Structures are given as C-alpha cells and as structure tokens.
Structure 1
C-alpha cells in the first residue's frame, strides 16, 4: 500500500484507534491532518507520524461538536494541502445510560459526536473527495457491542452510523467516492477511562464488556482501516467489516 501524495484526515487521532491509524498511514507515506481535543497527545502522535517518513502532519485541536468546527477542519486541510483523499471518522465517546434515565442531554451528546459529526465532516469533505475519487472510513461498533446494557445512546448512534455508511455508499457511488465502515470489538483504548464514573464502576463496566469478548489491540484495527482506505479492492463499497474475534456471531 502506498499513500504517497495522498491527504488523509483522521479524527480522534490523539489516542486509541485514531492514533494507531494515523501512525500507520504515515508509515505508508500519507500527508495527514490529525484532529483531536488533547493537544499534548495530539502532538505526541504527530511526532511519531513525522518520524515515519519525515512528513509533518497538520494538527487541529478542536471540539468537533462545536458549531462550524467540521468546516474548520476541512478548510484548514485544503488550505495546507490543497486536497483530501481519505476521511477517517474515528472520533467518538461513550456515556453510560439507558431508557430509564431522565438525561436526554447525554443521549443528544452521544448522537452528536458519534453520528452527527461524521455526517457533517463527510458533507464538508465531499467536494474535495469527489475531485480525488477518495473515500470515507467510519468506525462503528460490532453488533454484539451494540446490545450491551447501559450503552443506549452510544448503541443507537453507532447503529445510525452503520446505516449512514450504507446509504452514503449508494448515494456517492456515482461520484466515484467509496464509503465503508470498520466495526471493531472491544479494543484496548482509553474510552472507558474517560467515563465519568468511579474506578469501581469503571471496572464493573469493563468486566461486563469483556466477559466474553476478545480484547483487540488498536494497531490491528488500524491495519484494517488503512487497507479499506487504500483502494486495493476498488469495489469495496458500503461494507461493514467486523473485526471482533467472532463475538458478534455468538
């Protein structure tokens, strides 16, 4: 795989799957825009990307849920690099909640970051992706992970993102733009450590999730993301690729 001369936007690039994907794209020669909220971690990832091929990424520290932030990311990228070839929608967040809760704000937050942001970024990047015949890779969640108790808002948003992938693939096929999703199982990231809960509650949630799910390393998911984005299989479009050690079929 060779991404020399290709411009790739990776959201959620400061940690986990986003960081691992960014570093791997850099190793294959990509020019990168790294998007995240933690400046220190974002800079650390940028240094690793630069070390791979000597290409300095553009770092955009921004909260994508704020108004016009998606447009800012695209504008900064095009201003710096003149094109966009790949958009990786990896930014996401988990809040524990259920239908019994009276916290509609938490549900709205899950829909916003996990579904609305990928939609908005895809919309903003589309004029440039059509020019390069580029593609979009969305990070969703396996069917098994989406039915775990306590993850109502997250599950609904990720299911929506899966459906968005399929409909967008049909809609954009005539423009030569591919849209696919990678659905990792429980991956070793800091997503649970960011939850607003006690250490004991966090451990219970983690044990509940990992009870019968194989824990996957972010580097493995990154390899799938880069493969999907590469165009090695030019007719790979509208696909949902499970990477979960078969837990979704149990």
Structure 2
C-alpha cells in the first residue's frame, strides 16, 4: 500500500535549487519514484549532470530550466516552460536558498536583502504563480526550511529570520489552500552535508571543523545527508501524507530538541 502511495508516475515535480545538495538529492529520489521532473537552477552544467543521473534511473528526460528565482521574469518563465512541456504541475519543491554570516552588529542591508529575496520572496512569488496549476491537480507544496527556523542561533541572523518566515509561510498557505485540495508542508534540516556553507563563505578547514562540531550538537552524533532530507520531501509530497498539511518535519538528528551549544 505504501509503495503505491509513493508512486509519482504521471506526476510532474518542479524542484528549485536542483543543481546540487538537497535539490539534486530530491531530483534523484523523485526520479526513482517515476516522476516527470522540471529542474531549476543557476548552473546549467550542474543541472545537466543531475538530469543525466535522473534519466539513467527512470529513462525520462527531465526539463532543465536555467534561472534565478530572485528574478520575477525568471519565475514566470519557469512556470510557463514547465506547463508548456508537461501540461500540468503536481508538486512544487521550493528548495533554492542561501546563507550569509552576520549578527545585528555587522549584517549589511545588502546581505539582508540578498538572503530574504532568495529564501523568502522567491518562494512567495513562485508559489503564487504555481498555485492555479496545483489547484487543478490537487497538488502539493514542500518548502525546504531549516532548524534555524525553529530554533535561534547566533551569527546567522538574516538566515534565521528568513527560515522562520518560511515556517510561517508554510502554515498560512496550508490554511489558505486546504479547502482547494492543495497541501503545503516543509522540512527543516539540521546541518546537512552540502555546499551551502561553503557558498556562504566557509573555507575548507572551517567547514570541516563545523561538521566535526555537528557531532556534538546533533543528538544522533552526526550531520545529515542530502538524501535523508530528500526522503522526507518525497513523503510529504506523496499520498502517504494525504492528511498532513501546515506542518514542518525536522530532519536534523534531534538538533531542534537539544540545548544550544
């Protein structure tokens, strides 16, 4: 029964930030579940590599769209090209995101705007454009948040604010669309082995120390893998979670339940 409910054959899944990390892992997971994929990212070559892996799994060519979700015209094009190609949309995975280091004393407004535009405004806009199509299919939205949206941590203020906004966005949209058959949920990863922190400015040595420290800050004694987050994303998008909306699933090895350190 569970296997049939996790089957995405004939369903169209759009994933932002699909060129690496959690987005790429989600693409691989959904391809194993027979989904038709629309993969969005800023790096074409990386998208092509992910698409190649997906095709090797289920024989289907994903649609690749190079675009920047902070640009309104790109978001409009992303939805249009997806609908033009597949004729519908069943699942929207809002995964694209960035992190920047800084406190209230030294986070510039440029940093703040960059983080909020990528992590919040882009999700708001792309979801708005996708909703009419998701209503037609009684579809599902899965937002990639963070344990930083559930708990407070020093040194990444703008990022914390952006992910708390994603948590609230998830709940509000869930309530607004429930009567129309569209579910909206989120996953909240802890430290996950991706290139997010390196893109945020960490050098190799600092990042390795960060991962090592994660063994102490996560109850399960290790950082997470992108594939583990992808499993939760697929579950929330599937009919296995047919009566679940407005919720956030921590995929963080117990980080959200521990005292800060």
- Scaled by the length of structure 2, the TM-score of the pair is 0.91
For structure 1, which segment, 78-87 or 238-247, has the greater mean C-alpha deviation from structure 2 after superposition?
238-247
Structure 1 residue corresponding to 2:134, chosen from 129, 132, 138: 129
How many residue pairs match? The answer is: 250
Structure 2 residue corresponding to 1:245, chosen from 232, 253, 256: 253
Conserved? CA contact 1:10–1:33, under 8 Å: yes
SS at match of 1:242: strand
Distance 1:13 1:144, change over 3 A: closer
1:229 maps to 237
1:32 maps to 37
Conserved? CA contact 1:195–1:202, under 8 Å: no
Gaps of at least 5 residues in structure 2 are 1-5
Query: What's the offset of the Cα at 1:192?
Result: 1.1
Query: What's the offset of the Cα at 1:247?
Result: 1.6
2:91 maps to 86
For structure 1, which segment, 190-199 or 74-83, has the greater mean C-alpha deviation from structure 2 after superposition?
190-199
Structure 1, residues 119-174: CA drift from partner, whole Å, max 9, x if none? 11110001100000001000101158752221111110000000000010000011
Question: Distance in 1 between the 2:141 and 2:107 partners?
Answer: 35
For structure 1, which segment, 125-134 or 102-111, has the greater mean C-alpha deviation from structure 2 after superposition?
102-111
Runs of 4+ aligned structure 1 residues displaced above 4 Å come to 143-146, 197-211
Structure 1 residue corresponding to 2:217, chosen from 212, 219, 229: 212
Matched, 1:105 2:115: no
Conserved? CA contact 2:94–2:123, under 8 Å: yes
1:18 maps to 23
SS at match of 2:240: coil
Question: Distance in 1 between the 2:160 and 2:187 partners?
Answer: 15
Question: Distance in 1 between the 2:26 and 2:240 partners?
Answer: 17
2:52 maps to 47
1:174 maps to 179
2:3 maps to none
Distance 1:207 1:112, change over 3 A: farther
Question: Distance in 2 between the 1:144 and 1:92 partners?
Answer: 13
SS at match of 1:232: helix
Matched, 1:150 2:159: no
Question: Distance in 2 between the 1:81 and 1:38 partners?
Answer: 22
